[in-house]
Chain A
Amino acid sequence: MTLFAMLASVVFGAVAKDTTQERLLYGVKVFAEFMAIGLVLSWILYFIP
């Protein structure tokens, strides 16, 4: 999941914004969102049989 989030956020970050700093920040933000949503969904699914 971490690897997937990293690869996807690299591409999303490179595509999305104009300046390098904005791209970097956006990439980090997308990575954090992937990880957070993945972990939350994992815990929800853990309790569903």
Chain B
Amino acid sequence: MARINEGAERASGSAWLIATAALFVPGAGHLLLRRWGRAALMGGAVWLCFILGLVMGGHMFDLSTGQGSSPFLQVPPMIANLGSGALYLICWFLGVGFADDPQQAARATYEYGTTFLLIAGLLNYLTMLDAFDIAAGRKP
């Protein structure tokens, strides 16, 4: 317990900054920490997962819903999608991957793409936490 508290005290402002960068741009946290291998592996996995999801025609979630269901039902998957950080925001601004298009939904890879987009966000949360732990000195 004392060891955990000691680690918590050591989390400096730069650790939080690195975590924010890692959340916003996948892999950026490890790049700032000069952990090139980890940045390439973890950031690369998130980027690849996200791009593959978009290519497969996946759908991302926001609070709007065209099917009359509660917007609150969109919140859990939206939290997963938000993990992609800037990638999610750019797509949101450009309107890519958010359309409720029946033709897109009919694609064989639609569900796979949606899952890949969700997983990309969740993996980036893990990547961000790893970068934070390294920056805070809790991990070698």
Q: Chain A, 1-43, contact with B by CB distance < 8 Å: what is the 0/1 string?
A: 0011001101110110010000000000000000000000000
Q: Which residues of A contact B119 (CB under 8 A)?
A: 4, 7-8
- A3-B52, A18-B140 known; A11+B115 contact, CB < 8 A: no
SS class, residues of chain A in contact with chain B = helix
**CB closest residue in chain B, given A27:** B41
Q: Which residues of A contact B49 (CB under 8 A)?
A: 4, 7
Interface presence of B75 (CB below 8 A): no
Binds A, one of B85-93, B97-105, B123-131: B123-131
**CB closest residue in chain B, given A18:** B140
In the bound complex, CA of A7 to CA of B42 (Å): 9
Partner of A11, one of B42, B116, B140: B42
Q: How far is the CB of B26 from chain A (nearest CB, A)?
A: 10
Interface residues of A (CB under 8 A from B): 3-4, 7-8, 10-12, 14-15, 18
